[in-house]
C-alpha cells in the first residue's frame, strides 16, 4: 500500500520541499476533530429549526435531515473518526508487534506456526468481517474498532518480522548477545529503536486503510448509532437530501477526503525524503 512512484531527480527535489498542501489538507480535519468538541453551544438543537435547510444567517452550514445545526455536528463528528482510527491502529500494533517479534525469534517452528496462522486470516476481506460482526449482535463502537484493529495484525506482524530479520539488524542482535547483553536490553532498548522507522512508515500508510474501513462500516450503519455526529454517519443520513441541502453531505465528505488525501500526501512526502537521503 505504500506509494512507490517517484524516482530520479524530480522525487528528490519534491521530497525536500515542505509540502504545505499536504499539511493543510491533513491539518484542517484534524484540528476540526480535536478542537471542534470544545466549541460552541452544548447541543445541535435550536428552537423552530426546519430540516434540510440550506446555509443561512442562523445556521452557517444549514441544518441536517433532523433539523440539527450542521456546523455543530461537523465540529463534533471528527472526534469519533480520528479516535476510531487511532484506537484501531494501537490495537493492531499491540497484537502485531509481539507476534512479529515472536516469529522473528530463534525458533523456526514457532515462526512457521505464527506466520501460517496469520496467513489464514488474510483470506478475510475487511468489510466482510465487520458486516458479519454486526449480524452477531456486536454492534457497539468498540467492537468495530477492535475488529478493524485485529484485521491489521497480520500485516503489522509481517512488517515487524521483516525489519527484525533484516541482515543488518540480525547481525547486531547476534553481536549484542555474544557481548552478554540480556533479553531485556535487546528487546526493550535496541529493537524498538530499529523498529521505529519502518513501523512509523507502515502506520502512516495503514492510517488510510483503517480510515477507509471504519468510515465505510459507519456509512453502512454497522457501528455508530444513526444519531451520531460522525462524519460518515452524517453523509449517510443526509445523502437523500443531496439535491436540496448539498452542504450537509459535501462538508463532511470534503473533510473525510481531506483527511485521506492529506495523510496520503504526507506519507508519500516522508517516503520520498527517506529515499533521497539514502
Partner 1 sequence: MRGYVLRRSLLAVLQCLMVLVAVFALGSLLPGDTADVLRGEHGTPAQVAALRTQLGLDEPAWARFWHWLGGLCAGDLGNSLMTGTPVAEDLGRRIGVTALLGVPALVLVTALAPLLGTVSGLREGSRLDRALNSAAVLLHAVPEFVLGLLLVAAVSLAAGLLPATAVGMDTAALLAQPAVLVLPVSVLTARHLCDLTRQVRVGVAAGRHGTVATHLRLLGMRERTVVLRHVLPGALGPAVQQYARCVEGMLGGAVLVEAVFGLRGLGSGFVEAVQNRDLPQVQAYALLFAGVTVAVNLAADLAAYRLAPRREVTA
> CB 216: neighbour CB atoms within 10 A?
16
Q: Mask 171-210, x = binds partner 1 (CB under 8 A)?
A: -------------------------------------xx-
Among 20, 38, 183, 243, binds partner 1 (CB under 8 A): 243
Q: What is the closest distance, in whole angstroms, from the C-beta atom of residue 106 to partner 1 in the complex?
A: 21
- The set of cell numbers assigned to 236 is 449517510
Dihedral pair phi/psi, residue 50, rounded to 5°: -90, 150
Confirm or reject binding of residue 50 to partner 1 (CB under 8 A): no
Nearer to partner 1, 38 or 83 (CB): 83
Alpha-carbon separation of residue 16 from 207, 227, 268, 272 (angstroms): 23, 45, 12, 9
Residue 255 near residue 32, CB atoms below 8 Å: yes
Residue number, 93 or 210, with CB nearest to partner 1: 210
Cα separation values, 69 from 13, 24, 91, 142, Å: 45, 25, 34, 27
Cα(204)–Cα(201) distance, integer angstroms: 5
Interaction of residue 79 with partner 1, rule CB under 8 A: no
Q: Which of 58, 119, 140, 174 binds partner 1 (CB under 8 A)?
A: 119
Binding mask 250-269 for partner 1 (x = CB under 8 A): x--xx-xx--xx--xx--x-
126 binds partner 1 (CB under 8 A): yes
CA distance 192 to 153: 18
Tell which one of 221, 241, 275, 276 touches partner 1 (CB under 8 A): 221
* Three-class secondary structure assignment of 119-146: HHHCCCCHHHHHHHHHHCCCCCHHHHHH
Q: Which residues bind partner 1 (CB under 8 A)?
A: 3-8, 10, 116, 119-120, 122-128, 131-132, 134-137, 158, 208-209, 211-212, 215-216, 219-222, 232, 235-236, 239, 242-243, 246, 249-250, 253-254, 256-257, 260-261, 264-265, 268
Amino acid at each position: 500500500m505504500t506509494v512507490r512512484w517517484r524516482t530520479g531527480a524530480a522525487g528528490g527535489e519534491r521530497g525536500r520541499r515542505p509540502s504545505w498542501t499536504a499539511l493543510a489538507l491533513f491539518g484542517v480535519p484534524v484540528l476540526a476533530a480535536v478542537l471542534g468538541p470544545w466549541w460552541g453551544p452544548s447541543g445541535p438543537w435550536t428552537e423552530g429549526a426546519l430540516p434540510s435547510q440550506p446555509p443561512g444567517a442562523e445556521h452557517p452550514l444549514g441544518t441536517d435531515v433532523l433539523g440539527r445545526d450542521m456546523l455543530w455536528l461537523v465540529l463534533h463528528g471528527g472526534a469519533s473518526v480520528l479516535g476510531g482510527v487511532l484506537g484501531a491502529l494501537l490495537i493492531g500494533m499491540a497484537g502485531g508487534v509481539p507476534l512479529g517479534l515472536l516469529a522473528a525469534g530463534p525458533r523456526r517452528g514457532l515462526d512457521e506456526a505464527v506466520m501460517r496462522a496469520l496467513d489464514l486470516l488474510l483470506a478475510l476481506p475487511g468489510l466482510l468481517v465487520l458486516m458479519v460482526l454486526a449480524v452477531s449482535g456486536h454492534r457497539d463502537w468498540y467492537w468495530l474498532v477492535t475488529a478493524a484493529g485485529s484485521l491489521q495484525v497480520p500485516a503489522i506482524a509481517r512488517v515487524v518480522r521483516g525489519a527484525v530479520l533484516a541482515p543488518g539488524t540480525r547481525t547486531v542482535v547476534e553481536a549484542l548477545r555474544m557481548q552478554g547483553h540480556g533479553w531485556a536490553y535487546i528487546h526493550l532498548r535496541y529493537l524498538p529503536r530499529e523498529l521505529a522507522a519502518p513501523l512509523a512508515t507502515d502506520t502512516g500508510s495503514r492510517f488510510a486503510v483503517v480510515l477507509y474501513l471504519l468510515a465505510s462500516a459507519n456509512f453502512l450503519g454497522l457501528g455508530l448509532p444513526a444519531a451520531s455526529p460522525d462524519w460518515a454517519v452524517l453523509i449517510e443520513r443526509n445523502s437523500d437530501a443531496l439535491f436540496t441541502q448539498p452542504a450537509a453531505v459535501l462538508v463532511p465528505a470534503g473533510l473525510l477526503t481531506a483527511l485521506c488525501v492529506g495523510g496520503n500526501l504526507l506519507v508519500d512526502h516522508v517516503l520520498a525524503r527517506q529515499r533521497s537521503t539514502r
